[in-house]
Structure 1
Amino acid sequence: MSADLKPADPRRLYQQIADRVRERIVSAEYPVGSKLPPERDLAQQLGVSRPSLREALIALEIDGSVEIRMGSGIYVCQPALQRVGRPAPMGESPAELMQARAAVEGAVAVIACANSTAEGLARVKESIEAMRADIAAGLDVLDHDREFHVRIAEMSGNSVLVTLVGTLFDERRSPLASAMRDRLENLPTFEAALSEHEQIYRALVSRDPLAAQAAMRSHIQAAADRWVYT
Structure 2
Amino acid sequence: MSVDRVTSAIDAILARIHSGEFPVGEALPPEADLATMLEVSRPTMREAVRSLSTKGVLRVIHGRGTFVNPVASWTDLPAMVEALGRSQSPREIGLQLIELRRMIEVGACGLAARNRTDDDIAVLTELLTMFENAAETGDIDTIAKADLAFHTTILEASANPFLSFIMHPLQDALSASRKQTSADSRIRRRAAEHHRIILSAIVDGDEARAKDAMRKHMTQTRDDIAAYLPDQPVAD
**Normalising TM by the smaller chain, what interval?**
0.5 to 0.7
Deviates more, 1:88-97 or 1:143-152: 88-97
Distance (whole Å) between structure 2 residues aligned to residue 136 and residue 94 of structure 1: 25
Residues 151, 87 of structure 1: CA spacing in aligned structure 2 closer, same or farther, 3 A cutoff?
closer
Instruction: Provide the secondary structure at the position in 2 that maps to 1:111.
Output: helix
Partner of residue 220 from structure 1, selected from 218, 221, 228: 218
Which runs of 5 or more structure 1 residues have no equivalent in the other structure? 1-85
Give the unaligned 5+ runs of structure 2.
Answer: 1-83, 229-236
**Structure 2 match to 1:103:** 103
**Does the C-alpha gap of structure 1 residues 106 and 183 become closer, same or farther in structure 2, counting only changes over 3 Å?**
closer
Out of 160, 169, 194, which is 1:196 matched to? 194
**Structure 1, residues 169-192: CA drift from partner, whole Å, max 9, x if none?**
432345xx47xx637841111111
> Which residue, out of 156, 162, 165, partners 1:163?
165
- Look up the match of 1:119: 119
CA contact (8 A) 2:95 2:226 kept: yes
- Aligned-partner Cα distance in 1 for 2:175–2:127: 19
CA distance in 1, matches of 2:171, 2:117: 24
Name 2:94's counterpart in structure 1: 94
Shift of 1:93: 1.9
Instruction: Tell whether the 8 Å contact from 2:131 to 2:147 is kept in structure 1 after alignment.
Output: yes
Partner of 2:128: 128
**1:177-192 mapped onto 2 (5 Å cutoff):** 177=177, 182=180, 185-192=183-190
Paired-residue identity, %:
23
Asked if 1 retains the 8 angstrom alpha-carbon contact of 2:138 and 2:183, the reply is no
Taking a change above 3 Å as real, the CA distance of residues 221 and 193 of structure 1, as seen in their structure-2 partners, is same
**Structure 2 CA distance for partners of 1:216 and 1:168, relative to 1, 3 Å:** farther
Tell me the TM-score normalized by structure 2: 0.54
Q: Specify the structure having the higher radius of gyration (Cα).
A: 2
One-letter amino acid of the counterpart of residue 158, structure 2: S
Aligned counterparts of 2:227 and 2:95: Cα–Cα separation in 1: 8
> Which string of whole-angstrom CA distances, capped at 9 and with x for unpartnered residues, describes residues 53-112 of structure 1?
xxxxxxxxxxxxxxxxxxxxxxxxxxxxxxxxx983567721111111011000101111
| CA 1:166–1:199: 2 relative to 1, 3 Å | farther
TM-score, reference length from structure 1: 0.55
Tell me how large the CA RMSD over aligned residues is.
2.5
Q: In the TM superposition, what whole-angstrom CA distance separates every residue of 1:14-48 from its partner, at most 9, and x where no partner exists?
A: xxxxxxxxxxxxxxxxxxxxxxxxxxxxxxxxxxx
